[in-house]
Amino acid sequence: MNSALKWMPLLAALALAGCAREGYYDNRSVDYAKAEEGAPLALPDTRNTRRYRDAMPVPDAPGAFASQGDDFRAPPPRALNAGSGVSAGEVARREAGDQRWLVVGATPGVVWSEVDDFVTTRGLNVISRDDSRGVLETDQGRISVVPGLQQGESEVRCEQGGASVDGCLRALERRFEQRSNLASATASGLSAQGQMGQQDRSPRLAQRDDEWQLVLPYDIERAWAELSAQLDADFSLEGRRQLVERDIGSHSFLVDYLPLSERSRGLWDSLTSMDFDEESSRLRLVLSRQGARQTLVRASAVGDETLAADDRRELLERVGGLLR
């Protein structure tokens, strides 16, 4: 071998090392260690909020981390496309039976200001108004604003004689959609002073009569409508979790769900049973009224199947996480 060629690898290594020392291939680890936190970027209030999203969003894990012994596993994170509510500045429709309303991604104070301006712009004759309750009575019906099921959301209803008025809802929906800075707008009137403030409306798990149940701090019609929308978004993964059927009459949902016990089967159990397939179960979620402003959600198996306590709890944790 040519003696000059024999030293080529060593010369190349030294050359590269020299490049590194000269800054061509800097070791940036020291830079990260000495990095200082800067002030957050401030965007103008007039920006179009629909154009800005988290660059690398991290999904939340639904439910509370309550230990269930050595075999406890944290609940899986909710899918990024399954919201718990509408995004800031967005508007969505909800319905339960013949009742329809809007869910707006803005605080009640902001929405109330928009409704007030809407009534003035349309030239509607205001018969009475109650800023503390968020109710406007006009000669064409009633418009009301209440805190939504999620923090920072509002529900808007247009009613005449107790029935929903679709034309009014459509007009308000278009107005909210056109307001690009709706979520960052400033509230006015008594509602901005806290009379329509958000209360603690978080779902919680409770054990009653040795059975895990989900307690929702809102009436059954709102709970069913919101849960229906959230299950549509999240229970859409075939073989894992899937919404099969819904029934407003019985306030129930039929779902196919891969329970925690099935997902947690170890390799040894699979080898001993020679069954490597994961099987989902047909389960039913039933909502029941508990007073004027509380709803219970129960989970049970359909047919001859049984639903273990840990599986029931984990399913209700996921359902509750959709409403947080």
DSSP 176-228: HHH-TTGGGPPP-SGGGGTTTPPP----EEEEETTEEEEEESS-HHHHHHHHH
CB-CB contact of 152 with 49 (8 Å): no
Query: What is the predicted pLDDT for the residue at 180?
Result: 67
Domains in the chain and their CATH numbers? 91-193 (3.30.310.170), 204-322 (3.30.310.170)
Question: Between these two residues, 86 and 139, which has the higher pLDDT value?
Answer: 139
Query: What is the predicted pLDDT for the residue at 81?
Result: 44
Percent of residues in the chain assigned helix, strand, coil, to nearest 5: 30, 25, 45
Report the SS3 class of residue 273. Answer: helix
- Gap between the terminal Cα atoms of the chain: 72
User: Over the chain, what is the mean pLDDT?
Assistant: 77
Q: Is the dihedral of CA 145, 316, 70, 80 positive or negative?
A: negative
Residue-wise pLDDT tens digits, 84-110: 567 788 899 998 888 899 999 888 988
The contacts of residue 187 (CB under 8 Å, 6+ apart) are 107, 109, 110, 112, 113
- Tell me, yes or no, if the pTM score tops 0.75: no
Return the C-alpha torsion angle 168, 170, 173, 177, nearest 10: -140
Is the model's pLDDT at 321 over the cut of 90?
Answer: no
pLDDT band at residue 254 using 50, 70 and 90 as cut-offs: very high
Query: What is the predicted pLDDT for the residue at 209?
Result: 81
Q: Can you give the length of the chain in residues?
A: 324
